[in-house]
Amino acid sequence: MNELFSIIPDKIRDKLPLTADIKQLLQQQTISQHTPGTILKDFQTILEFLQPDGVEVSNTHHQFSLKYLQQLNSLLSSPIDINFKRPVQKSYPYIHGLYFLLRASGLSQLITKGKKSKLVLDPKFLQIWQNLNPTEQYFTLLESWLVWGDNKLLGNERDMFDQAYLCLFFWEDMPEAGLKFNSYLEQDKLGYFPGFHNLALLHLFGLIELTSGQPQPAKGWRFTDVKPLPLGNAIMAILTESRTNIQIEDYAKFRLDFRIAFETLKPYFQPYFPEWSQTLVIAEGGFTEGTYIFKVTLQDTWRRIAIPSHLNLDEVATAIAEAFDFDPRHLYTFIYQDRTGRILEFDHPELESNPDTSDFRLGDLSLEIENHLQFIFDLRNEWEFDLYLEKIDPDHGEIQESQVLESHGQPPEQEEEYIVCFIEDEWTIELKKPDDD
């Protein structure tokens, strides 16, 4: 979710009014494995594909490798023909979209050991998912897609537009009679708005009618017709209403809330779908008491550090810098990507941009075992530390301050002639002297 979640142009609101006919259509809609689209059936196919032990994924973007793509494509309700010699995951928009839901829903986890990464299902949340009824599953996936999912899950750069925004703008430009595409050049216009994976998801959720065509040599997915369906108009109208009602302060609260529960859209859809009762909750939020054991790596060196959960991130930053014999008087940023793909950034108190490191304790972050936390230290030289959470020991009060438990390798030289330091209520750059404290 980003700032644009609360921005809906008037022309979209005017095109998608919540009329009596739309309300009646929603009240009469039933949801099952095969209706209104095949999203639940195809998502179940992906879940079964990952069982029992997950599958290996690429190291860079953690996506399905080439060896799985043709098999997965053949198992889906809408397999597509392509003529690429070496396709990648995004060459198959339906797989790309389902992968996005798998990650954004929190049902899967990335497990990285050494140079290999696997995508596995979380048995705890899978059990909860299986106990949801079809309506609850449908809207959990809808919210995963349109509210929680971040573009970086697909290996893209962070985008100022979220998936709902892209889909709503596409919908606003689509005539009721639909769109026809006579060539790849024409259809490529949809590569960004809404994006081919979003187009595939609109089809899987039963919101559009889509006709595929035959691909040309060395070309990818070909489609010829895209037409909005009545349910698509109805859901886009509800989505427009929900986004119109969200204020900037609500967005700020969302950014700082570590609870992950797929219930943002519930107040808007439940009146029409009373079967939506249970909610999939991935993280309860709150404070986790204990001592966090991190393996902190910088280049070829690492330190195993025990850090009490009550320390704030400002104190954690100092502990890490000192463990590597670095001067802690520098600006820094912590970056954490939760399992839904949401990226949270916490900055040095003096940067006054993202949330402040002094306002959050380590135990506030809802970190899980085997999570990674990125620490960018000294924003001029950008030393990148990786904090890998190995375990959380119950806190019995033995450790009040951070402790280095194990060391490996000689840390690199800071190699600086200047330091950024805080003097007389302001930050300044000074020449570092050999005997500087």
Q: Residue 419: which CATH number?
A: 3.10.290.30
Distance CA 331, CA 379 (A): 6
Q: If residue 389 lies in a helix (H) or strand (E), which one and from where to where? A: strand 383-393
Do residues 257 and 316 both lie within one domain?
A: no
pLDDT level of residue 437 (50, 70, 90 thresholds):
very low
Do residues 152 and 38 both lie within one domain?
A: yes
Do residues 137 and 176 both lie within one domain?
A: yes
Sequence letter at residue 20: A
Residues contacting residue 377 through CB under 8 Å, at least 6 positions apart: 317, 320, 321, 326, 330, 332, 383, 385
Residue 17 lies in a domain: yes
Residue 243 lies in a domain: yes
Asked if the model's pLDDT at residue 210 lies above 60, the reply is yes
Asked if the model's pLDDT at residue 302 lies above 90, the reply is yes
Domain final residue, candidates 257, 283, 309: 283
Q: For 50-72, what is the mean pLDDT?
A: 92
pLDDT level of residue 366 (50, 70, 90 thresholds):
confident
Do residues 271 and 127 both lie within one domain?
A: yes
How high does pLDDT run on average in the chain? Answer: 88
Asked if the model's pLDDT at residue 372 lies above 60, the reply is yes
Strand arrangement, sheet containing 108-113: 55-57, 116-121, 108-113
Domain final residue, candidates 283, 312, 330: 283
Domain final residue, candidates 227, 249, 283: 283
Do residues 275 and 367 both lie within one domain?
A: no
> Nearest 5°: phi and psi at 82?
-135, 160
Do residues 113 and 19 both lie within one domain?
A: yes
Residue 437 lies in a domain: no
pLDDT tens by residue, 232-257: 999 999 998 888 776 544 444 555 67
> Could you tell me the residue range of the domain that residue 204 belongs to?
3-283
Domain count, the chain: 2
- Using DSSP, state whether 56 is helix, strand or coil: strand
Do residues 267 and 301 both lie within one domain?
A: no
How far, CA to CA in Å, does 160 sit from each of 28, 164, 171, 352? Answer: 36, 12, 18, 20
Do residues 63 and 147 both lie within one domain?
A: yes
Q: If residue 73 lies in a helix (H) or strand (E), which one and from where to where? A: helix 66-75
pLDDT tens by residue, 3-34: 434 455 566 667 788 899 999 999 999 999 99
pLDDT of residue 420: 54
- Using DSSP, state whether 341 is helix, strand or coil: coil
Ramachandran region, residue 425 (left: φ > 0; alpha: ψ -120 to 50; beta: rest): left
pLDDT level of residue 157 (50, 70, 90 thresholds):
confident
Do residues 28 and 162 both lie within one domain?
A: yes
Do residues 143 and 104 both lie within one domain?
A: yes
- Using DSSP, state whether 275 is helix, strand or coil: coil
> Distance of alpha carbon 221 from its chain centroid, rounded?
25
